[in-house]
Chains A and B, each alone.
Chain A
């Protein structure tokens, strides 16, 4: 059974520092991996989607890498801002289940001014 783990569960950094968020998964048979952001009391917003054939994806200050063979993905957020404070979740789409994304528990990030 696919398991997705995000460590640490919480992270606090001063404004301007780069953020590094980790996601690991146990089964490398995936179509893709997504990173989401969730603000308190809100739904999830998709940030980046990396196909299994890709090594990384970039959008603005965000960069996500994927090492499928080792079961790891990393989300980098450059020059963090207080507005980046949120919970970040990763989710993998297993190849044996069309619609079932498997989510990690998330990393709660606080960026202090």
Chain B
């Protein structure tokens, strides 16, 4: 079975450019999470969706960041304009939250998109 698929795996861009990161969750999963990992701050939750609806975006650093989930099989994280301090590895994770049962909290991560902003 395919896991969480992220693209691109590596992105190098210049300050001010728009960056779009993409994620395809595991088929059948109905929750999707965007995390950012840096050496200084570790793993930080940016935003998460349940059934394609954004539930909590309080982790999004500022208005330059936006995320969408137009359908159950695709999500994007966009940074516009990008800045050097946005350099990090961005992870997408998905999970199954059964409507009739408690969510276990088990997450399945993609391999990440390493972003470098010069």
Contact = CB atoms under 8 A, between A and B. Distances in A.
A41 B113 CA distance: 10
Interface in A1-58: 31-32, 34, 36, 41-46, 49
Contacts, number: 57
Contacts of B118: none
Given A49-B104, A100-B45, A103-B43, A43 B91 contact: yes
Interface string B88-118: 0001010000000011111111111010000
A108 B53 CA distance: 36
B116 to A, nearest CB: 14
Interface in B64-101: 91, 93
B108 A99 contact: no
A31 B107 contact: no
B104 A99 contact: no
A105 interface: yes
Contacts of B105: 31-32, 34, 49, 93, 101
Nearest to A4: B42
B107 A101 contact: yes
Interface string A46-81: 100100000000000000000000000000000000
Interface of A: 31-32, 34, 36, 41-46, 49, 89, 91, 93, 97-101, 103-106
Closest 4 CB pairs of A and B: A43-B109, A103-B43, A93-B105, A99-B48
Interface of B: 4, 31, 33, 42-43, 45, 48, 50, 55-56, 59, 91, 93, 102-112, 114
